[in-house]
A and B are shown apart, each in its own frame.
Chain A
């Protein structure tokens, strides 16, 4: 249902041994893309993880719509060298549909992941989270390690066809945030 409230975040403070990020306040509705912007060290990734319970919450509230399905794309990438896994295998794990992949990747899904370039692999991993069946998608620095073609395709897809999900993304790339997000929330240092 369009305009459905997916997430309400109020006064969220999060961290590890102690709070390192926040407070954060925002509401997210289906179809919206919210960008968390702020300087390095502001705790954007930590706050993103707090939305699904990946770090400790020290204060505030995260209200999720009942039955909310969350998909989270984390930074960094596990070493895949030598693992006999194809692109199609990887997408099948999260249930992500290949429809919408850029042509330079769609034709290589049968190949092993360790035959792909770093940029192709990063895009595929991103896609496995982005196109998985989920109401809320959390993207942590999605443009990292993508080449220009990858960034352009991602921006285009987010701008026109992201399946009516709600998306919260963290990026140091202000131009990308300005291009794709319907709203930007600043996270203080």
Chain B
């Protein structure tokens, strides 16, 4: 066991990239959970991973391939709103099947595939950090602006229609934001780590938040705290980041017996 690597400059960029994402992913997860659409995050992540692999095989940038595939998934989800969870399940199966076949049949895809599925954060480079920082600059203010429409759509679904407006464009914009953030997280952290950070911190916020804003803050703090600990442990114990992150974040849920309301 060695924790000296934690202070190696080589790991600063991956750590900073992941930390930014660990702050944003739980916020996206709060609104996905609000809409009972948290499963969509897994569909976006699987699509992003398949898109990244296809891009690599075609000698293109994985980051761009992942983002485009997830944005396509978000667009499909937004346009097929009534399909709900069935659409997410179909996207997941499609992306998973395609991704695994690529990994099995293309030598170049094998290593990248393992990184995406296992969550090897340490391959993350400056391009990922720059893309994540730029995305954060766009996502945070837009998400703050979307917060009220998203809450209204959940609790007063007739609010906009009674005023002669449609809530659909706002909901579609949120889907695209979610797709973008989850895609960046997938190509940086891996599929299941990205999903963990979308899904688990909101569970804690749902249980312990005293209001919506405090819930958002709690979710972001839980995400960033859990991520930092997982990063340190996986590096120090030389273990893949994805499973360490998932186990570390899920453990408090199991141990504190948080009720799974509105699953």
Contacts and interface: CB of A to CB of B under 8 A. Distances in A.
B163 A93 contact: no
Interface in B195-251: 205-215
A90 B155 contact: yes
A88 B211 CA distance: 9
Given A54-B161, A93-B156, A82 B261 contact: yes
A67 to B, nearest CB: 10
Interface stretch (A10-18, A30-38, A73-81, A166-174): A73-81
B152 interface: yes
Contacts of A138: 162
Interface string B92-118: 000000000000000000000000000
A70 interface: yes
A72 B158 contact: yes
Contacts of B154: 78
A84 interface: yes
Interface residues of A, number: 28
Nearest to A54: B158
A71 interface: yes
Interface residues of chain B: helix, strand, loop or mixed (majority)? helix
B10 interface: no
Contact of B148 (A79, A80, A83, A93): A93
Contacts of A78: 154-155
Q: How large is the interface on B (under 10, 10 to 19, 20 to 34, 35 or more residues)?
A: 20 to 34
A54 B162 contact: yes
B12 interface: no
B211 A112 contact: yes
Indicate the member of B34, B163, B259 with the most A CB atoms within 10 Å.
Answer: B163
A1 B85 CA distance: 49
Contacts of A71: 159, 162
B235 to A, nearest CB: 33
B82 interface: no
A96 to B, nearest CB: 11
Interface in B152-205: 152, 154-156, 158-159, 161-164, 205
A23 B155 CA distance: 31
B12 to A, nearest CB: 34
B207 A128 contact: no
B158 A74 contact: yes
Contact of B155 (A52, A69, A70, A93): A93
A144 interface: no
A90 B155 CA distance: 8
Given A54-B162, A79-B262, A84 B214 contact: yes
B140 interface: no
B151 interface: yes
A82 B161 CA distance: 27
11 contacts: A52-B158, A70-B162, A71-B162, A78-B155, A79-B262, A84-B206, A85-B211, A85-B212, A86-B212, A93-B148, A112-B209
Interface of A: 52-54, 69-72, 74, 78-86, 88-90, 92-94, 110, 112, 128-129, 138
**Nearest 6 CB-CB pairings of A with B:** A82-B261, A84-B209, A84-B215, A86-B211, A52-B162, A70-B162
Interface of B: 34, 148, 151-152, 154-156, 158-159, 161-164, 205-215, 259, 261-262
